[in-house]
Amino acid sequence: MDKEENKNKEIELHSEEVQEIMGEMPSWLLCHGITVLFVIVIFLLVGSWFFKYPDVIQTEIVVTSMEQPATITAHSTGKIDSFLTKNNIKNNIMVTAGTPLAVIQNPAKTQDMLTLIKMIHAWEASEYSETVAKELFTGKSFSLGPVQYAYNTFVSCLDDYLSYKESNYYTQRIALQKLQMLTQKEYYNDIVKQVSAERKQLQSNKNIVEQDSIRGVKKMIPESEYNTSLIHFMQNKQSLFLLSTSVKQTEIQLMRDKENLLKLQQQAAERETEYRLSLQNAKKILISQVRLWERNYLLSSPINGIITPMYDSWNRNQNVKVGEVVFMIMPANRGPIKGKALLPAHGAGKVQVGQRVNVRISNFPDLEFGYLLGKVEKISNIPDARGFYAVDVSFPNGMKTNYGKLLPVFPQMRGNADIITENLRLIERFFMPIKKIIKKQQ
């Protein structure tokens, strides 16, 4: 009975009337379906026109301040003695430029070397005054190790120069020579006056002799009177000759005195130049030796900033090696924060000045701290040897993240940068491959 009923149902399902009803779609369903599909397509097209999103170029970045931290490295191998206590270093104290931080053990007595360095600075400030040099360096005794010979030579040259200046030997000789020349000149002037007077007297005696000669011929005077006049004339003539000779000799002596004066002045100049050059050379050698000692053994802060030791367990007799970083000085005034990113050549043309940069610092997970908001400030025109372009990134908000957290500044903070390029419409991105295919075919 059941088999017959199933057979009848099967016949009814495959009848033409049933197939006609099942194969025909209702008109209302077709109409509404097309409308809904059209609306969806229009919505997608409109949405793809208004919806924009940028390309993101990812690269590595190093964030640091404009004022770079200074590293102090050892130039000699040995133990160090610190001028700062361990507690002070832990407290990150401020130091000024030139502050001695530590010294590597060496044959020189540290305090003597520091005193000598201060003395040299004071002498330099006085523009190398002789008076200041005498006050600073004379009568001082130091233990200077490798600088000792240069210092002794300098002090010896300084003593010689000061002794020469204080003795006034050539100054006195020159003064005496000038005084002698002045006296000789006065004597010369007196003789010249005598010569002039003697010539007048000679002319007068000559006139008398001529008159007496005429009167003697006329027997107006006795011959003895004429002879007396003649004798006076000859004596006067002899005296004039002697005075003229004395004038010549005095002139020669004046020329000799002038020559001697020039020689003395030249000798004085040469001697002073000799002492001065010796002192200058000794000074240069001493300063160079002191600078060499400072470079090899003295560890000083080159800038104003906060000192940070490079040892976890810092102690007074710490051993250091050549080239090892002993201290780092964080600048007191760090200035604005800057980032330096290396942009790969692929896609570099999309990056422009002023574009936004999201910087995630590796030390601070962005899920917890957020990221820094940066801006492209400068792009290099030429890539480096590896084909990367240098991109300078500025941070208008400083180290404040998008979460509102202020990150501390450490030297050479590394991270990842997302450079947000120009926004493109979704529909433009959809048609870009099609346009590319069409252009290739053309």
Task: Please provide the DSSP assignment of 61-94 as one string.
Answer: EEEEESSPPEEEE-SS-EEEEESS-HHHHHTT-E
What is the average pLDDT across 309-329? 73
Classify domain 68-99+301-333 by CATH number.
Answer: 2.40.50.100
The tokens of 328 are what?
């780092």
Higher-scoring residue by pLDDT: 187, 376: 376
Distances (CA, A) of 317 to 112, 314, 328, 340, 430: 20, 9, 19, 39, 70
Q: Which residues contact 158 (CB under 8 A, 6 or more apart)?
A: 133, 134, 137, 138, 279, 282
Distances (CA, A) of 181 to 117, 176, 259, 268, 383: 50, 9, 11, 18, 81
| Cβ contact 250:201 at 8 Å | no
| Residue 34: predicted pLDDT | 72
- The 10s digit of each residue's pLDDT in 252-299 is 788 888 888 888 888 888 888 898 899 999 999 999 999 999 999 998
Q: Which residues contact 128 (CB under 8 A, 6 or more apart)?
A: 283
| Residue 29: predicted pLDDT | 58
- The 10s digit of each residue's pLDDT in 213-261 is 666 555 666 666 666 666 666 766 777 677 777 778 877 788 888 888 8
CATH of 106-296, one of 1.10.287, 2.40.50, 3.30.70, 1.10.8: 1.10.287
CA dihedral 235, 241, 245, 250 (to 10 degrees): 70
- The 10s digit of each residue's pLDDT in 111-170 is 899 999 999 999 999 888 888 888 888 888 889 999 999 999 999 999 988 888 888 878
Residues of the chain with CATH 2.40.50.100: 68-99+301-333
Residues of the chain with CATH 2.40.30.170: 56-66+335-441
| Cβ contact 144:116 at 8 Å | yes
Residues of the chain with CATH 1.10.287: 106-296
Classify domain 56-66+335-441 by CATH number.
Answer: 2.40.30.170
68-99: b or e for each residue (b if 16 or more CB lie within 10 Å)?
ebbebebbeebebebebeeeebeeeeebeeeb
CA separation for the pair 212, 225 (Å, rounded)? 8
What is the average pLDDT across 81-97? 65
At residue 20, does pLDDT exceed 80? no
